Amino acid sequence: MAMATEDILTFEEALEKYDPVLGFEVHVELNTQTKMFSSAPNAFGDTPNTNVTPVDLGLPGVLPVVNRVAVESSIKIGLALGCKIAEKCYFARKNYFYPDTPKNFQTSQFEDPIAYDGSIDIELADGTVFTVEIERAHMEEDAGKLTHMGGSTGRIQGAEFSLVDYNRAGVPLVEIVTKPIVGAGARAPELAKAYVAAIREIVKNLGVSDAKMERGNVRCDANVSLKPKGQEKFGTRTETKNVNSLRAVEHAVRYEIQRHAAVLDSGIAIIQETRHWHEDTRSTTSGRPKSDADDYRYFPEPDLVPIVTTEEWIERLRSELPEPPAERRKRLQQDWGYSDAEFRDVVNAGVMSSIEDTIAAGVKPAVARKWWMGEISRRAKVADVEPSELGVTPELIVELNSLIESGKINDKLSREVLDGVLAGEGTPTEVVEARGLAVVSDDGPLLEAIDAALAAQPDVADKIRGGKVQAVGAIVGGVMKATRGQADAGRVRELILQRLGVEG
């Protein structure tokens, strides 16, 4: 069967007629040492089926025991999302047959999640703030990893058999579920991306997850529905599964809005179903409709006793929470005196922490920003890495900066020094010596170069003598060229004016 390309409206057309409603289920893998219910290592990339115990394989007669740290991490996530923490909650069995769980059920939570009723403020790139309400955050376990073999594309379609690795089975997960998000309008795709980015930032900041999306530590299912403008009742939603990069979240939400609009416009009802996201075509295809197989027959897990939280326990965990990322940003911007636009650029460039460290090492905020947003970001872009990954230390910037301030090198030379340091030629001071980059500060050679430059452009020299001081730039340029940039331009200017007997 050929896969039909579905009609879509343009994003603008879709937004003219419909209001999008969003909802997200984000799964966060915790970075505990061991699994949720067994003492097998919680590790990525090991030999298949070695990080497993009889509990993880669902062998007969095993007894799961809850990981205390996983529960505490879950409570911390709940607190960071402004949630209430359940006084008493249970685990439940979610029953289904699929080889990714050898037990034929996933241990999860159903009626009473560990955390519920929270909200977080999401700031978009231009500073607009949306409040996203959190319905619940519950604890569960990850499933094993299936690899479909024999199909031409590695996907389930056409596969002849599947291979299962249970190393991931039982890894602690927290699933964060939002309430329906209405009113985002045309900013829905942007908000989707910002929401997932915020969750990732929060769990990373808490230290409870490695939060690497490319490793599946943070995974997003995005729900989208449309309602005609002015209508209160929500439309039928689709759930796009496993949208696992920030960019994909934005694109998937945008695509589903456009697709829903085209379907609704043609008078057809949206089917409640899962959708699969395809990065290559930037589109979704139909997954599986909601069916009676979704009857999971949840019931309380008889092998695990209830979790009862105390005020004391929760308050101890609350006291361990780090400063929330949004508050930290506010504080740093104030301390550094950056404008809103400057600070946003810093955040978007991913150099906020680097600048913080550099300032702590004794560099002025404006200077630290100049380095990280200028030369370092530029080199990172060329090398296609994050600025923080270039190997630039705060100490390096301190040294470069003091070389400039003492007049040993100028701005231009400092770039070459940075290149030398990054190329492994030693400390800035060593690079200056090895490459002979020190600024020429002895006036003798400078005066020679100045005389030569004046002689080369006598008409300019006359203009300056005549009082046109701004023409001095041409002579300074000549001198800088002759000294290969190793002169202090300010000193050169001073000397030229002195030479010509003109007041600067």
Q: Helices 411-422 and 394-405, interaxial angle, to 10°?
A: 150
Nearer to other proteins among residue 290 and residue 318 (C-beta): 290
Q: Is 289 in the site for other proteins (CB under 8 A)?
A: no
Beta partners for residue 141, in sequence order:
172
Local structure of 272: helix, strand or coil: coil
Q: Is 284 in the site for other proteins (CB under 8 A)?
A: no
Q: Which of 3, 65, 125, 321 binds other proteins (CB under 8 A)?
A: 65
Q: In the complex, what is the shortest distance from the CB of residue 159 to other proteins, in angstroms, rounded to a whole number?
A: 4
Question: How far is CA 2 from each of CA 5, 119, 342, rounded to the nearest angstrom?
Answer: 9, 44, 50
Binding segment toward other proteins, per CB under 8 A, in 151-159, 183-191, 203-211, 383-391? 151-159
Q: For 120, what's the count of Cα atoms within 13 Å in the CB-facing half-sphere?
A: 30
Rg of the chain, C-alpha, whole Å = 31
Nearer to other proteins among residue 310 and residue 319 (C-beta): 310
Burial class (CB in 10 A: 0-12, 13-18, 19+), 297: exposed
Q: Which of 119, 245, 274, 402 binds other proteins (CB under 8 A)?
A: 274
Residue with tokens 């380095």: 371
Nearer to other proteins among residue 57 and residue 500 (C-beta): 57
Q: Is 272 in the site for other proteins (CB under 8 A)?
A: no
Nearer to other proteins among residue 167 and residue 414 (C-beta): 167
Residue with tokens 């209508």: 231
Residues 476 and 468: their CA atoms lie apart, in Å, by 14
Q: In the complex, what is the shortest distance from the CB of residue 157 to other proteins, in angstroms, rounded to a whole number?
A: 8
Nearer to other proteins among residue 43 and residue 326 (C-beta): 43
Binding segment toward other proteins, per CB under 8 A, in 93-101, 130-138, 227-235, 408-416? 93-101
Q: Which of 17, 247, 282, 288 binds other proteins (CB under 8 A)?
A: 288
Q: In the complex, what is the shortest distance from the CB of residue 174 to other proteins, in angstroms, rounded to a whole number?
A: 15
Contacts of 368 (CB under 8 A, 6+ apart): 355, 358, 359, 397
Q: Residue 313: name the closest of 37, 30, 86 by CA.
A: 86
Structure tokens that stand for 229 in this block:
């403008």
Q: How far is CA 286 from the centre of its chain?
A: 29
Q: Which phi and psi angles does 279 have, rounded to 5°?
A: -65, -35
Q: Which of 3, 17, 33, 353 binds other proteins (CB under 8 A)?
A: 33
Q: Residue 142: name the closest of 239, 273, 51, 250 by CA.
A: 51
Residues 291-310 contacting other proteins, CB under 8 A: 292-293, 295, 297, 300, 302, 304-308
Q: Is 257 in the site for other proteins (CB under 8 A)?
A: no
Residues 308-367 contacting other proteins, CB under 8 A: 308
* Residue 176 CB neighbour total at 10 angstroms: 28
Residues 136 and 333: their CA atoms lie apart, in Å, by 32
Q: Is 95 in the site for other proteins (CB under 8 A)?
A: yes
Q: Give the interface size with other proteins as a residue count (CB under 8 A).
A: 63
Q: In the complex, what is the shortest distance from the CB of residue 236 to other proteins, in angstroms, rounded to a whole number?
A: 18
Residue with tokens 């996530």: 77
Question: How far is CA 442 from each of CA 414, 437, 439, 477, rounded to the nearest angstrom?
Answer: 19, 14, 9, 18
Q: Is 41 in the site for other proteins (CB under 8 A)?
A: yes
Q: Is 71 in the site for other proteins (CB under 8 A)?
A: yes
Q: Is 3 in the site for other proteins (CB under 8 A)?
A: no
Burial class (CB in 10 A: 0-12, 13-18, 19+), 27: middle
Nearer to other proteins among residue 159 and residue 347 (C-beta): 159
Q: Which of 62, 69, 398, 497 binds other proteins (CB under 8 A)?
A: 69
Q: In the complex, what is the shortest distance from the CB of residue 96 to other proteins, in angstroms, rounded to a whole number?
A: 8
DSSP H helices in 174-271: 188-206, 246-265
* Residue 361 CB neighbour total at 10 angstroms: 16
Nearer to other proteins among residue 103 and residue 369 (C-beta): 103
Q: Is 66 in the site for other proteins (CB under 8 A)?
A: yes
Q: In the complex, what is the shortest distance from the CB of residue 34 to other proteins, in angstroms, rounded to a whole number?
A: 5
The DSSP 8-state label assigned to residue 487 in this structure reads B
Beta partners for residue 181, in sequence order:
22
Residues 155-184 contacting other proteins, CB under 8 A: 156-157, 159-166
Contacts with other proteins, 185-224, as mask; x by CB under 8 A: ----------------------------------------
Beta partners for residue 299, in sequence order:
93
* Amino acid type, 122: I
Binding segment toward other proteins, per CB under 8 A, in 59-67, 131-139, 333-341, 360-368? 59-67
Q: Give the residues lining the site for other proteins (CB under 8 A).
A: 32-34, 38-41, 47-54, 57, 59, 65-71, 88, 90, 95, 97-99, 146-151, 156-157, 159-166, 241-242, 274, 276, 287-288, 292-293, 295, 297, 300, 302, 304-308
